[in-house]
Chains A and B, each alone.
With several copies, the nearest count.
Chain A
Amino acid sequence: MGPKALEVVIARRELVAPEHVELYFSHPALKEAVPGQFAHIATVGTLRRPISFSRIGEAGEAAVLFRVVGRGTAWLAERREGEVLDLLAPLGRGYPPPDPGRPWCLVGGGVGIPPLYAALGKWGRGMQSMATVILGARTAAAVLMADDFRALGVEPTITTDDGSLGERGTVLGPLRRWWQTHPEGQVYACGPTPMLAAIARLKSPGGRLYLGMEQRMGCGVGACLACVVPAAGAAMPPWRRVCSDGPVFAAEELRLD
């Protein structure tokens, strides 16, 4: 079916953490959305705002979970149940379905966590063994969706920069240990670009690594070439578009230095 211009009605609004809001809605066109794909949402200003799906249901139920960082997300956080959102969705290339036989690890930082939850929600039951989930945040209050992961039967490993919850430090510690014991494992990561670059440096040669990238966007549909990140190899032009080649890339596709 592909992406569409959608008007969806907000069915539920939840303040999930200080400055973090989750909005629920549904639309038949979202039935085929893939975890890692995003909605490009009209808020205020010249440009839409890209937000990944935090939940994807089989009947087109979906949600977005976002942090208030500026004008657009502030406007979005003020929307109430019953109001209409104007989306282009589902956009981009999401995560590939995981290989059911390989150990699976989901590593998320901050607002990179929600798409990983969507991935576990969709594919978790089909895996031969339980996935490992590593969630990082600056501080305890910003650890997102831990209970949601628990409801799927996974106890997430939590790290916080200030040690206020879980292990003090970043997701890199637990991930390094996981990769030592699962060198052939598949890792789905999402979070700030420096975190993803560090994760890519840890990758074991036999493992697989998929990264959910962020970049400032214009169109969101591949037309304007705003949202580029450096491509690996000698491609010319030397870029990939986050909105349409990504946001999810195999680590090998990118130059992450």
Chain B
Amino acid sequence: MAGQADLTPAGSVGEEPLAVRLGGLCLPNPIIAASGTFGFGPEYAPFVRLSRLGAVAVKGVSLDPWPGNPPPRVWETPAGLLNSIGLQNPGVEVFCRDDLPFLRQAGTRVVVNIIGKTVEEYARVAERLEREAGIDALEVNISCPNVKEGGIAFGQDPEHAALVTRAVRAVTDRPLIVKLSPNVSDPVAIAQAVAEAGADILSAINTVVGMAIDLERLRPALGAVTGGLSGPAIKPIALRIVYEVSQAVGIPVIGIGGIETAEDVLEFLVAGASAVMVGTVTFRHPRRMEEIIEALPALLRRHGFRSVNEAVGAAWPGRSGGGR
């Protein structure tokens, strides 16, 4: 609970009930568009007021362009979605030239999600972004395969995860988020390694590895065979990781996974998240993030909380369970 004090900016209570401060990252509200589900910003602009969102996390950006996987790249599952986009992106240079300018003037907070296949690649993407204004935080996606070490994902091993974190930390003073993979035996060990290596904030969780069968073709449904499971199906998995990790580390945690309603957000907050990211539900309900932001103040009050900050970790052992 060491991190708890950090999360409560003096005087914020009652004035800005939705405002949150995650280490050095200050947001008007805790609702962040999740990486990969919100493009680079303009795609959803016809439907969503970007300035209303707590922040926008862009699609993962790598040093060179990545092709991603062959289609089909999505498949519906019970209360969920499998995707195998494969981190397609045009590379950091094109991102800075074509996409950042729009984001800079959109009036929102910008989180750039970065990816790489070697430790050096991650660092070089971060380095390149240092030259750009209008970026509020970096989010390091450690679910990428480490090509130098036989392809095991960086996020599946505490040491690899720490290596990436240290390398990015060395080149940036921006708030540094590291995004945890759920596909591990011990998420807390990864979280602790990454926090020690200099992460300011954790986000959890990325998608859960899964697959589907297309019975029409009697083949794996996705072009890439396996994919990442998201949506309400994974909410219990995400809540458990947020609950355990947030108690084990002294830094704020952003909760992600299957959030569809303001109630879901409150569940993540009381489990220990200081903010949340919202992904898959946007595909069906582009305005849902704004609706959640609108509903949250009354919901907090109904449960006896005067602010988001008060709710954070209210379900932890030893906490009173809220203001009631």
Contact = CB atoms under 8 A, between A and B. Distances in A.
A224 interface: yes
Interface stretch (A15-23, A40-48, A93-101, A198-206): A40-48
Interface stretch (A103-111, A153-161, A214-222, A248-256): A214-222
Contact of B83 (A4, A224, A229): A224
Interface residues of A, number: 30
B59 A47 contact: no
Interface stretch (B72-80, B125-133, B170-178, B305-313): B72-80
A226 B73 contact: yes
B321 interface: no
B43 A222 contact: yes
A73 interface: no
Give chain B's interface secondary structure class.
loop
Q: Which of the four size classes fits the interface of chain B?
A: 35 or more
B67 A236 contact: yes
Given A42-B284, A219-B283, A225 B73 contact: yes
A12 B46 CA distance: 28
B212 to A, nearest CB: 11
B243 to A, nearest CB: 20
A88 interface: yes
A228 B69 CA distance: 10
Contact of B72 (A48, A215, A238): A215
A74 to B, nearest CB: 14
A194 to B, nearest CB: 13
14 contacts: A46-B284, A216-B71, A218-B37, A219-B39, A219-B43, A221-B43, A224-B83, A226-B72, A226-B83, A237-B67, A237-B68, A237-B88, A237-B90, A239-B68
Question: Can you list the 9 inter-chain pairs with the closest CB atoms, starting with the nearest?
Answer: A223-B39, A223-B43, A226-B74, A222-B43, A216-B72, A226-B73, A236-B65, A218-B74, A46-B81
Given A215-B72, A218-B37, A218-B81, 4 more contacts: A5-B287, A216-B71, A219-B39, A238-B67
Interface of A: 2-5, 42, 45-48, 88, 215-229, 236-239, 244
Interface of B: 36-39, 43-44, 46-47, 59, 65-68, 71-77, 79-81, 83, 85, 88-90, 231, 280, 282-287
